[in-house]
Structure formats: C-alpha cells, structure tokens
Amino acid sequence: MTHVGVGMRNDQCEWDKFDSNWYFNHNYASVRDDDRQILAQMSQFFADHLKDTRSQHGVDVGSGTNLYPALTMLPFCQSITLWERSAANIAWLHREIKSFRPSWDAFWRQLSRLGRSRGAAGNARKRLAASAMVCRGNIFELPVQHWDLGTMFFVAESITSDYAEFKRATRHFVQSLKAGAPFAAAFMEKSEGYLVGSYRYPAVPVTIDDIHECLSDLVDTDFSVVPIKSEHPLREGYSGTMLLALGVAK
C-alpha cells in the first residue's frame, strides 16, 4: 500500500497515476445486481423527464472507467461530455469510446430490455463514438448552468476525506446543469476509502441525510435518494449500500 487515504484532500491525491485497467476489472467487467437496480431507477427517471429527441447535451462528471452513466443518457443526447481529471483515465476513455469493449454490451442490453426509452436501440457503440467527447477538467471548475442532463457516479465522496470539499464538489455538479435538468448521482454509503492497485484513495463516509442537506436548496421538489443494496458488496470499507440521488436542478 503506497498511501493511506485518511486525512487526504483532493489535490493531495495522485490522480494521474490512477490504475484505470485495475479499477475497470474490479468494478465494471460485468453487470452486478446493484448495477441493474441503478440502471432501472436511472433510466426510468430520465424517461419520465425527457423526450427521446436525442437533442440534449449531457455531462458525466468524473467518468473514470465507467461508461454506463453515459450509456443511460445516450438515448436522449446529441452530445455527452465525459468530464475527467485523471490523465490515466482520460487516456482510457479516449481508447474506449472509439469502440467500447464487448463487456459494455451487457449494460446496453439491460437498458434495452427495460423498454422505457425508444432511443435505447440501435448500435450503441457507433452512437457513443459519434456523440461522446472527453474533456479534461477538475470538478471544481465546471461551468455553471451548461448542460441539459447529467450524471456523477461515485465521485464527490471518493476524491477527498474532507466533508466540506465533498459538499462543494456535489454542489458544483448540480450547479453545472441548467434549470429543469434531470440528474442522477451515486454515492458509496459510509465509505472509508478504497484501494486501486496498491494506492489507497480517500473518501467521506456520507449518508442519505448528508446528501439531502447538501442539495436541498439546489433541487426541485422531485428529489429522492434511493438506497441500492446488494447481497454481495462490491468491496470492503463501505456499508454495502449505494445511494442513488435522482433530482431536477432548480
């Protein structure tokens, strides 16, 4: 273990050395039961709030090596910005969106089976290659009121051990969306940090109440935080529950 993530702020972490392949293989090589639950909740929420016009401009903040938030937005989007800080993850994303690996087909089939969006059909590989763009950027430098819908998965609570910094990151994400824009954000409940290869990254041990407190003044009345529980937790060091926030930006 090269570093201990306890007491580390975002700018103290070695993000450019993030082991992208290790992280993908340990987290997204196959569809888990909690992934299925999240895909169902998120796709239904977007279908309820958006038309299948493919005219929206979406953003996925802190994409890392996770393409399924972008795939969930794909039926509605003309363009999707993958906003990422780590040089290693940026290189991984550039390679992946050109023609994503076969394991992502299982995620797309799951979305297609849900049948909640006419747009969840066709060649997702070509569509993502044509619509996705990778942008190197810090979450704290997001433009304000810029996108029509957005996602942020396991980012704000997983880049720092400082609660104030977590809160600022989460608010920056929602503030980057236009008024009326639907969003989905996922958090690891009560995370104590996590290993990527031999490097330990920090986390803030957030709860449902923390997320409500953080966003209550930035969201419309249609806002909920859904506990996503799995019989087989992804890793050690969190409660075993993921928290999925679904809302509409004011």
Which string of b and e fits 61-94 if b means at least 16 CB within 10 Å? bbbbbbbbbbbbbbbbbebbbbbbbbebbbebbe
Question: Whole-angstrom Cα distance, residue 47 to residue 119?
Answer: 10
> Where does the pLDDT of residue 51 fall: very low under 50, low under 70, confident under 90, or very high at 90 and above?
confident
Mean pLDDT, the chain, whole residue set: 93
pLDDT at 99 over 70: yes
pLDDT given for residue 4 in this prediction: 41
- Mean pLDDT value of segment 71-80: 95
Mean pLDDT, rounded, for 219-237 = 95
In sequence order, what DSSP letters do the residues of 139-178 get, joined into one string?
GGGPPSS-BSEEEEES-GGGS-S-HHHHHHHHHHHHHTBP
**Mean pLDDT confidence for 2-15:** 74
**What mean pLDDT do residues 84-89 have?**
98
pLDDT of residue 116: 54
Amino acid 3: pLDDT: 40
Of 16-30, 119-133, 233-247, least confident by mean pLDDT is: 119-133
Q: Look at residue 231 in the predicted model and tell me its pLDDT.
A: 86
At 122, the pLDDT band (50, 70, 90 cuts) reads: low
pLDDT higher than 70, residue 45:
yes
**Mean pLDDT in residue range 182-211:** 96
pLDDT of residue 1 exceeding 70: no
Tell me: pLDDT of 153 over 70: yes
The C-alpha atoms of residue 89 and residue 136 are separated, in whole angstroms, by 10
Asked whether residue 101 carries a pLDDT value surpassing 90, the answer given is yes
Residue 117 pLDDT level (bands cut at 50, 70, 90): low
Strands 77-84 and 132-136, by their bridges, are: parallel
